[in-house]
Amino acid sequence: MDGTLTDSEPLWEKATYRMAALLGRELTPEVRERTVGASFPNTFRICCEWAGFTPAHGDYERYRDDSFKYVASLYQSEDTVFPGVRALLSELQADGVPMFVTTNTERAVAIDVVESIGRSYFVDVICGDDVPVGKPDPACTSRQHAALAPLPRTVSCSRIPRRACVLPSTRGAARSACRSMTRSLCQRRPCLSQRSAGTTRALVTSTEWRRRISTAGLRSCPRHSFW
């Protein structure tokens, strides 16, 4: 979701820098890079280790709730959906392609974002707090495979990973797909020095996604799943 359907990574960047400052030490761009696409537990752990902060009872929940409220307020003030995304989703839906959202973002924040995109496009939404471990663990992707099984299909459930395709925006999401033996169409991300210099992230356009989807065979085989 973040970085694929919505340009929301800058919002999480603000929230992560803010949380690190509250913990007692400003993040460097290099440390911040380690949190890109991470689940909140991993991000909190990285920030605590960097700041030398030992969480007391209740600190995790307090910082999590504060960060989620902050990000939710940013979402409400900015339209983060990439241009052309809804048109692309509409075309794929018309082709009968089952689509899912899998995100490390927890449901308290993610569901409103999905609603702003269009909940009706997706068979299901798998959030960070729906699985024991977030990406890059394959639990999210494996859960989608299980959700696909009851849908009318022309292939057996054992072939679902081969017939599915993940469109990740982070290395963690790509690793999750790989570990569940699912194909992925990865976006090329600029190097750290480019982002540190203020260069806008080189995100793949909806037109480019459509070209890659066609190349992957999704257009010619509507039974594939698009995530």
Q: Where exactly are the structural domains of the chain?
A: 9-77, 85-226
**pLDDT classification of 169: cutoffs 50, 70, 90:** low
- Percentage of the chain lying above the pLDDT 70 cut: 64
Tell me which of 141 and 48 has the higher pLDDT. 48
Model-level pTM?
0.66
Q: What is the identity of the amino acid at 189?
A: R
Tell me which of 149 and 10 has the higher pLDDT. 10
The CATH classification number of 85-226 equals 3.40.50.1000
- Across all residues in the chain, what is the average pLDDT? 75
Q: What is the pLDDT of residue 180?
A: 52
Tell me which of 221 and 23 has the higher pLDDT. 23
What's the full length of the chain, in residues? 227
121-143 mean pLDDT: 82
End-to-end, the C-alpha distance of the chain in Å comes to 9
Q: Using the predicted structure, report yes or no on whether residue 123 has a pLDDT greater than 80.
A: yes
- Percentage of the chain lying above the pLDDT 90 cut: 30
User: What is the number of other CB atoms lying within 10 angstroms of the CB of residue 49?
Assistant: 12
Q: Which CATH class is domain 9-77?
A: mainly alpha
User: Edge-to-edge strands of the sheet including 183-184?
Assistant: 183-184, 164-166, 225-226
Per-residue pLDDT of 58-106, as tens digits, reads: 999 999 999 999 999 998 888 888 888 888 889 888 888 888 888 888 8
- Please classify residue 45 by burial: count the beta carbons closer than 10 Å to its beta carbon, then call 0-12 exposed, 13-18 middle and 19+ buried: middle
Nearest Cα neighbor of 172 from 98, 85, 107, 105 is: 105
Per-residue pLDDT of 146-167, as tens digits, reads: 776 655 544 333 333 445 566 6
